[in-house]
Chain A
Amino acid sequence: MRTVLLRLVPLAAPIVLSAALAQFPAGAASRVVSLNLCTDELLVQLAPERIAALTYLARDPALSVVAVEAPRFPAVRPSAEAVLALNPDLVLAAPWGARAALAVVEARGVPVLRVDLPADFAGIRAQTRRLAAALGVGERGEALLAAMDARLAAAATRRPAAPPRALIWEPRGYTAGATSLGQAVLEAAGFANAAPGGQRRGLESLLADPPDLLVVPSRPAFPSLATDLLDHPALHGLPRVEIPPALTLCPGPWTAAAVSLLAR
């Protein structure tokens, strides 16, 4: 994931971020529009009173950790017109996506904060602190991180000496590679990643070299061929842990809950 981001965005995110921070002294942003699910989730947890609008994705319980709270706020599509109509004084976005809309928004003088999406817990700490500082809620950021670190510390005490091999197996056979958030979660829970190459694994190649533990997304509320695969009878003999996909889809303090589920 990280290599892809860097390729797409030659300008590293922290540079953009510090420029936006200079424009924005702490506490100044009061009408904040978020155009990415990952910034939606952080914004709801850090400064709900500042929200002008979130994405529609934030309301989807299959994807979002703030699906319960999100319907209280307006939702916006990433179009320049819709965003400008909200008269925001800060727009949060991922380092990619909605580029045309963001260019128009920036040309109208609205600052855009592009928040990098880290793939490890150190990165999550830095990301949460940067955004909390930008919103002027540093202490709320620290509280979220303290809860995250408590979960991680609890998982670390249960760490076995020889780590068992766990495979994160997403619908359609995707695995988590060595530089992914998935591997950071596995390691924090005391497992070794059984697919450090991040290569796709079909049903057969999975069973030809079975991991000690299969880590799969918890069953969604809708039918799909991709998730039906996880119910294939040939997999019934493998121990598995189900993780709600929203916990690891976006990196954030909530990702530690996935570690707790695995370390149990």
Chain B
Amino acid sequence: MTGRICILVAALVGASLLVGDAGVGLADPLILWQIRLPRTVLAAMAGGALALSGAALQGALRNRLADPGLLGIGGTAALAAVVAYYWGIGARFALATPLAGLLGGGLGAAILLGFAGRAPTGTALIVAGIGLSAIASALLALALTLAPNPFALAEITQWLMGSVENRTLADAALAAPLIVAGAAVLLSVGRGLDALALDEATAASLGLPVGRTLRRVAIGSAVAVGAVAACAGGIGFVGLIVPNLMRPLVGERPSALLAPSLAAGAALLLAADIAARIAPLWLPLNESPRLGILTALVGAPFLIVLSRRSQP
């Protein structure tokens, strides 16, 4: 399954290099390598990281509504990145913005897992996550309103809805190691997640480290999602949709879901970014739609259907 999705990803990477506001087709090498390549790399990495984090969180929390965006991890990461960027810390050393995103994501995950430890029911956790994410987006908008910069207000959409437009190879090079590191941690927790799927008491009685698995999911998600949010803003719903789409294809076992979700997430966000670039070429749009708009338009109805189905 993962192999077949990887072929799709490869095809979408090719398509992504052939589309842009300079038109559809093979572009000037400068446009190809300096403009289309960075956004293609970032879209693939961001989609993969978000979906993988969603799959791991759904396994760890035993709740198929879990998603780094919905749970507020993406929001707290974007908030921290915004503060570092607009108050000039990012200008002093380039790693500051992604590192801040990582810290913000870590804080969000810590708050959430702290809450999950005490209130294990799925609904309560999702509600807490929605609360956390609402606080994070409100504080993000407030921070940009107060930012010493006349354009900051217009840039709220970029941070809340997400975009990989106009990113440079340097941006991609900065985010890549963090995203890869976070993804590696998340890919390593499969066995722990399978044990957790039984339930925490059974897993613990089998001698499996429940706490360590939860912590690794939290750290991996914070690093991967934090780096994504710092360079591409808050892209929602990818982590929710992809594992749920993969489950009928690869089965319920959490460990079997991780790699296919990574690949399918990359494919989904590449497709969304291609659509975002094609839309202004064919429709009377003044601006390319933000990635988060497209993923929300697909993901939110999916969430509604899913929440109906999971009612007792």
Spell out A's residues near B (CB within 8 Å). Answer: 60, 62-63, 171-172, 200, 202-205, 207-208, 220, 222-227, 229, 232-234, 237
In the complex, what residue of chain A is closest to B159 when comparing beta carbons? A225
In the complex, what residue of chain A is closest to B97 when comparing beta carbons? A223
Q: Are B158 and A225 in contact (CB under 8 A)?
A: yes
Q: Are B286 and A222 in contact (CB under 8 A)?
A: no
Q: B202 interface residue, CB < 8 Å from A?
A: no
B41 to chain A, nearest CB (A): 15
Q: Which B residues lie within 8 Å of A203 (CB)?
A: 21, 35, 166
Q: Can you pick out 12 interface pairs between chain A and chain B where the beta carbons lie within 8 Å of each other? A: A172-B151, A172-B154, A202-B166, A203-B166, A204-B21, A207-B30, A208-B23, A208-B31, A222-B86, A227-B151, A232-B35, A234-B30
Q: Are A232 and B168 in contact (CB under 8 A)?
A: yes
Instruction: Choose among B21, B31, B151, B286 the residue that contacts A234 (Cβ–Cβ < 8 A).
Output: B31
Q: B170 interface residue, CB < 8 Å from A?
A: yes
Q: Are A226 and B151 in contact (CB under 8 A)?
A: yes
Q: Are B150 and A63 in contact (CB under 8 A)?
A: yes
Q: Which B residues lie within 8 Å of A227 (CB)?
A: 151
Q: Which B residues lie within 8 Å of A208 (CB)?
A: 22-23, 27-28, 31
How many of B's residues come within 8 Å of A, CB to CB?
33
Instruction: Choose among A63, A204, A225, A229 the residue that contacts B20 (Cβ–Cβ < 8 A).
Output: A204
Q: Which 10 residue pairs spanning A and B have beta carbons closest together?
A: A234-B34, A208-B22, A204-B22, A202-B21, A222-B149, A226-B151, A224-B151, A204-B20, A204-B21, A205-B21
Q: B90 interface residue, CB < 8 Å from A?
A: yes
Number of A-B contacts (CB under 8 A): 75
Q: B199 interface residue, CB < 8 Å from A?
A: no
Task: Please report which residues of chain B, range 1-55, place their CB below 8 angstroms from some CB of chain A when the two chains form the complex.
Answer: 20-23, 27-28, 30-31, 34-36
User: Given known contacts A207-B28, A225-B158, is B149 in contact with A220 (CB within 8 Å)?
Assistant: yes
User: Given known contacts A207-B28, A223-B85, A223-B149, is B34 in contact with A232 (CB within 8 Å)?
Assistant: yes
A234 vs B22: C-alpha distance in the bound complex, in angstroms? 14
Q: Are B286 and A200 in contact (CB under 8 A)?
A: yes
A63 vs B151: C-alpha distance in the bound complex, in angstroms? 12
Q: Are A205 and B22 in contact (CB under 8 A)?
A: yes
Q: Which B residues lie within 8 Å of A172 (CB)?
A: 151, 154
In the complex, what residue of chain B is closest to A245 when comparing beta carbons? B150
A207 vs B168: C-alpha distance in the bound complex, in angstroms? 15
A176 to chain B, nearest CB (A): 16
Q: Are A233 and B168 in contact (CB under 8 A)?
A: yes
Q: B209 interface residue, CB < 8 Å from A?
A: no
A27 to chain B, nearest CB (A): 36
Q: Which A residues lie within 8 Å of B306 (CB)?
A: none
Q: B152 interface residue, CB < 8 Å from A?
A: yes
A171 to chain B, nearest CB (A): 6
Instruction: Choose among A222, A226, A233 the residue that contacts B148 (Cβ–Cβ < 8 A).
Output: A222
In the complex, what residue of chain A is closest to B23 when comparing beta carbons? A208
11 new A-B contacts, CB < 8 A, other than A202-B165, A204-B20, A227-B151, are: A172-B151, A202-B20, A202-B21, A205-B22, A207-B30, A208-B27, A222-B148, A223-B88, A224-B86, A232-B35, A234-B31
Q: Which A residues lie within 8 Å of B90 (CB)?
A: 223
Q: Which A residues lie within 8 Å of B85 (CB)?
A: 223
Q: Are B286 and A224 in contact (CB under 8 A)?
A: no
Q: Which B residues lie within 8 Å of A223 (CB)?
A: 85-86, 88, 90-91, 149
A60 vs B20: C-alpha distance in the bound complex, in angstroms? 37
Q: Residue-by-residue, is B135-160 near A (CB-CB < 8 Å gives 1, otherwise 0)? A: 00000000000011111101100100
In the complex, what residue of chain A is closest to B84 when comparing beta carbons? A223
In the complex, what residue of chain A is closest to B155 when comparing beta carbons? A225
Q: Are A222 and B147 in contact (CB under 8 A)?
A: yes
Task: Please report which residues of chain B, range 177-195, place their CB below 8 angstroms from some CB of chain A when the two chains form the complex.
Answer: none
Q: Are A62 and B150 in contact (CB under 8 A)?
A: yes
Q: Which A residues lie within 8 Å of B149 (CB)?
A: 220, 222-224
A204 vs B23: C-alpha distance in the bound complex, in angstroms? 9
A233 vs B34: C-alpha distance in the bound complex, in angstroms? 7
A19 vs B286: C-alpha distance in the bound complex, in angstroms? 40
A203 vs B155: C-alpha distance in the bound complex, in angstroms? 17
Task: Please report which residues of chain B, range 156-174, place their CB below 8 angstroms from some CB of chain A when the two chains form the complex.
Answer: 158, 165-166, 168-170
Q: Which residue, B21, B27, B152, B287, has most C-beta atoms of chain A within 10 A?
A: B21
